[in-house]
Structure 1
């Protein structure tokens, strides 16, 4: 089976094999990163002040041996006029496809600062410096330059580096447009949502599948017609599968949230009841102690009555003795 095109969106193309990477545990490739940047630039965040660099172009520029080669590749992008430039970095240092980690390098023109957002610390160092050198002339970075390492939440697995990159990219762009967290380079690590970002990508692609389709070549050949029909059905199937999966995920997520709320409520009730039982048990112990004290008091009173009677007898005997003694005098 051919790896047919599922969606063609501006300068980005996604194939069947690319869509398979949207679910965990899969490592995002440059096609998906390129697609999301195209989507932000043309749909959700279209602002001429922001420069989105295609990861394939970044790799080509990084590998340029001469500065003029890099400048020629980047000339049409007019990067010197951009205020924020997003540069996705791959750690592959050869001309062959590969690499094991993605990170994000961002140029902030107003602060004249390069900031590196990296979900695995102390990685991609060589690629980041090499890329910054290659881009410096076209962007207008003064040499020597310093790269600031941002405080980023570390990834908890081996495959979510691309998701971190896209989630951070999105947050920086939104904050730049709204002016939020300007002093922190438009970034808050606590706001990065890794858990649901794959779901977000699925929703975006599912929605675009309704309107964006790969271009088809008109033909009367039966075999090619069958291929076109198959591709259309595959698009429909993937579209439905994505939307159903996302819908089921949302329902399951809401059910889990409801179950978690009920479990929390039950735990609170159990804790309250347990506390009340402890209080009752404590009070029972206090009552037992008081009853014991009361019994002892009764015993003491009985002894006091007995002692009083004895004292009365002793007193009477003493009086009689004294009287008898006085009579003899």
Structure 2
């Protein structure tokens, strides 16, 4: 039975989703979307007004639907954000899927798109498409740059690297930390974070007392 484990904001996690946090498994849209929503909700009000965590679904729409992207994203007030974080998937269609995750960040000062790929070069094309479409909504996009990112040493941790790098960038850009924070994201750190995120979900589930569903 694939029961509901947690309902959190716009995220719904089932037992099959949570099991993906056990290695060696790939994270899906649901787990990454929950992690981004939880990180956004964890920010204090002054910081939450400066950063945007876009869900995998919204990010994929931004990449695939160029003409509609600006109007679709307008209610999010993205031009007012100092930092925008978007998971990038190598799926070419608007639906969920794909085989690799990376992270695209937009920084307003100095303006620019920064791409962090734990398997360098794999998602560059998809990240550039997303940046091009998003720039239509932002003033002075400042170009696109591939950043040196923490590297995965296996074939299944790309989604966890996206979550870990997104959290680190939020600390770095909004709380005044230095660049060394990304260097702490090692394979051992990523494995540990899998367990920590599973604990977070378990604690939230106990608190919300979600009733089992078929």
The verdict on a shared fold, with TM-score over 0.5 as the criterion, is yes
> Would you say 1:195 and 2:191 are equivalent positions?
yes
3-state SS in 2 of match to 1:103: strand
The structure whose residues are more often helix, as a share, is 1
Distance 1:166 1:45, change over 3 A: farther
2:94 aligns to what?
A: 95
Deviation of 1:44 (Å): 4.9
Q: CA deviation at 1:200?
A: 1.4
- Quick check: 1:8–1:213 contact (8 Å CA) kept in 2? no
Normalising by structure 1, we get a TM-score of 0.60
Equivalent residue for 1:311?
Answer: none
Aligned to 1:160: 157
Instruction: Give me the whole-angstrom Cα distance separating, in 2, the residues matched to 1:5 and 1:108.
Output: 36
- How far, CA to CA, are the matches of 2:43 and 2:208 in structure 1? 16
Aligned to 1:13: 12
Paired residue total: 209
Please name the residue that 1:148 is paired with: 145
Q: CA deviation at 1:212?
A: 2.1
Q: Residue 205 of structure 1 aligns with which residue?
A: 201
Structure 1 gaps of 5+ residues are 215-227, 235-329
CA RMSD of aligned residues (A): 1.9
Map 1:1-329 → 2, pairs under 5 A? 1=1, 3-44=2-43, 47-66=48-67, 69-142=68-141, 145-181=142-178, 184=179, 188-192=181-185, 193-214=189-210, 231=212
Q: SS of the residue aligned with 1:27?
A: coil
Alpha-carbon displacement from aligned partner over 1:95-115 (angstroms, at most 9, x marks no partner): 343211000010110111111
How much has 1:213 moved relative to structure 2?
4.0
Measured in 2, the distance between the counterparts of 1:70 and 1:166 equals 23
Deviating above 6 A after TM superposition, structure 1's stretches of 4 or more consecutive aligned residues are none
Which protein is bigger by CA-based radius of gyration? 1
8 A Cα contact 1:92 1:100, kept in partner: yes
**Aligned with 1:148: secondary structure?**
strand
Give the whole-Å Cα distance in 1 for the aligned partners of 2:129 and 2:193: 29
Deviates more, 1:90-99 or 1:155-164: 90-99
TM-score (norm. length: structure 2): 0.90
187-196 or 151-160: bigger deviation: 187-196
Q: Call closer, same or farther: CA 1:45–1:161 in 2, change over 3 Å.
A: farther
How far apart are residue 58 of structure 1 and its match? 0.8
Q: 1:99-134, CA deviations, whole angstroms, 9 ceiling, x for partnerless residues?
A: 110000101101111111110011112111111111
Offset, 1:164: 0.6
Q: Following the alignment from structure 1 to structure 2, what is the Cα–Cα distance between the partners of residues 114 and 96?
A: 24
What secondary structure is seen at the aligned counterpart in 2 of 1:174?
helix
Shift of 1:34: 0.8
